[in-house]
Structure 1
């Protein structure tokens, strides 16, 4: 057992351990490791370097989605506007009016523009009221007839009312009776039109002959604080009110191009509005369209058109002879018919 004596191991003469060398080796190894950590990482030439993937923002996606939704809503609204305008065929109406209404280019353009703006949608905050004013024979009633014919063709006869004061409310009838009758006609039509999503058209001619009671009744239908069906309606008021002022303005400005420009219509409007306001306040709710005097050339056009309707050959020399039989205002080199085309039908019927 002496061979395994513990003291012999501790003081062995065969094995010796140099601890200083081992310590040096460990320190050297640590220095190498520390240097290795600080070295630049080298990539092979054929390897691509990639930046870390960026996290995509969810807010950006939501914003793009919102923009897309708004775009499609706007596109849908534009398509709906086009559908409404196509339903009423206002382009066709404009062509017809330019072809059949003579000497009133500015007035026709103004009427069509108002109708297009109003009929582009079925939702309104007030009815559309258009007042056609001018001297006799200049085409106001003819425009009313063209409008009635057109809207009957694109909608239905049930949604167009032509109201002539002398016929529907003659002088012998009590104003209260006329008031009740007109109110019932309007109420019935707007109710039926609302059910079928149509816009009713009321054409009221000879408005200058309406009694104050009837004007009061009519004005209540023009107010904005009504139920929806009464807001979705078009009223055309036709009268000779302001005709004398328009005649005077035309004669005074005959030598200029003002009459055929929008600026001329605006000046006329500033003259007519006070006149209409003194008759009744309802014209404050109306878009007023002045009709100017017709020149002799326009009267000749009226003769030609009327003769075609009657199946007569429109001989130019014969037409000029008929036109010369009418009375005119003469100013400079211009001649304006004092009665417009009012007497054309009667003259042609005598042929």
Structure 2
């Protein structure tokens, strides 16, 4: 009986122990979790990391045995054993503000070497240099071709001949040579070259035309590209003007056509333009226009006349004593006004004024003619012949009224009669 009565007591104490033990275990676990959280919070505030203590590892094993994980206890969704203090909240806010204000640090080079940025070579630069080289080569080649084309006409020899045989007209010679060199430098042009030689009678205009015709015939080795036309000789009668007009038109068309085929420039020399009928002037004016085929643009027209000669003589005698005499520029407008009154074809012409000749120039004309006729060049005889002509006397200078026009007749009178 005693034994039987003691059995329930033992069972009751066992049940009490079994109930108290889990409660105590839960209390111990709660205390350990609280201590663990406090230790973690202190570690976070100090910014240091430490390894887990043996107690914490033991606590995790106990939690795993009890069927609960550490994450469940740490999660604020399940446990909120401690509330953060005011000091901890302020410290956390201060740390967040510091993190927001913290900016990216500016790095300055120290003692390290500094290098300039690398320049990358562009391929387009090489292409540009190649293109510039090609253009320069073409320009040099074109200049050489221009020189070769000018040499073909032997203009240097022509200039020497003019200076040797035409006296007192240096300004006119220089202007004619400049016009010819510029025009004959190439075979392709946008307009024909029209040169008008104007001045008093006997100053060398017709002689200049003969020199040009002779030179270009010798250069071309043919008479097919040079035409000398004298109005009084080629068309003397007014009744034959229509026939003269047709013949002249056919000659010009034939010459420019053949010259274009052989890549040569024809030259047309018209003397005594002041005597040419108006229908012929109108026809020539049509050849000076720009709106025509290419072969008619590659041609040189020399117009010789006494138109404006009286104005040149008057102007020259009035201004010859002036030290600022600029004959080409000032005479151009004077001659141009006289030419426009005669016909409008001179509007496209390059005006070349021929001035009066001095007595020394007349003496040179006599010397040249005497040598051609085979006479001994006696200076006394030359002075005697030059003194037989009439002159304008301006201060210490004398200018011939008729120029060298009477020189040939005076020299011919020296021949003995047979």
Q: Same fold (TM over 0.5)?
A: yes
Q: Deviations over 1:180-219 (max 9, x none)?
A: 1111111100000000000000000000001111100010
How far apart in 1 are the matches of 2:364 and 2:320? 20
Return the TM-score normalized by structure 2. 0.70
Per the TM alignment, residue 56 of structure 1 is displaced from its structure 2 partner at its CA by 3.3
> Where in structure 2 are the equivalents of 1:40-79 lying within 5 Å?
56-79=121-144
How far apart in 2 are the matches of 1:186 and 1:280? 20
Q: Which has the higher contact order (CA 8 A, sep 6+)?
A: 1
Q: Does 1:303 align with 2:369?
A: no
SS in 1 for 2:224: helix
SS in 2 for 1:75: helix
How far apart in 2 are the matches of 1:133 and 1:86? 28
Provide the residue aligned with 2:339 in structure 1. Answer: 276
Provide the residue aligned with 1:144 in structure 2. Answer: 209
Cα distance, 1:51–1:324 mapped onto 2, change above 3 Å: closer
How far apart in 1 are the matches of 2:122 and 2:188? 40
> Where in structure 2 are the equivalents of 1:223-242 lying within 5 Å?
223-242=289-308
Q: Deviations over 1:196-246 (max 9, x none)?
A: 000000000000001111100010000011100000000000000001001
How far apart in 2 are the matches of 1:255 and 1:54? 70
Q: Does 1:161 align with 2:224?
A: no
For structure 2, the residue ranges without an aligned partner over 5 or more in a row are 1-50, 52-114
How far apart in 2 are the matches of 1:257 and 1:209? 36
SS in 2 for 1:174: helix
How far apart in 1 are the matches of 2:200 and 2:278? 22
Q: Does 1:334 align with 2:397?
A: yes
- Counterpart contact for 1:101–1:139, Cα < 8 Å: yes
SS in 2 for 1:197: coil
SS in 1 for 2:197: strand
Return the TM-score normalized by structure 1. 0.83
How far apart in 1 are the matches of 2:312 and 2:283? 28
How far apart in 2 are the matches of 1:140 and 1:187? 26
> Which of 375, 386, 396 is equivalent to 1:312?
375
- Counterpart contact for 1:258–1:264, Cα < 8 Å: no
> Which of 162, 170, 190 is equivalent to 1:105?
170
Provide the residue aligned with 2:312 in structure 1. Answer: 246
SS in 1 for 2:188: coil
How far apart in 2 are the matches of 1:135 and 1:67? 53
Q: Which protein shows a greater Rg?
A: 2
> Which of 146, 149, 156 is equivalent to 1:84?
149
For structure 1, the residue ranges without an aligned partner over 5 or more in a row are 1-19, 21-49
How far apart in 1 are the matches of 2:406 and 2:281? 30
Stretch moving more, 85-94 or 229-238: 85-94
Corresponding pairs, count: 307
- Counterpart contact for 1:254–1:334, Cα < 8 Å: no
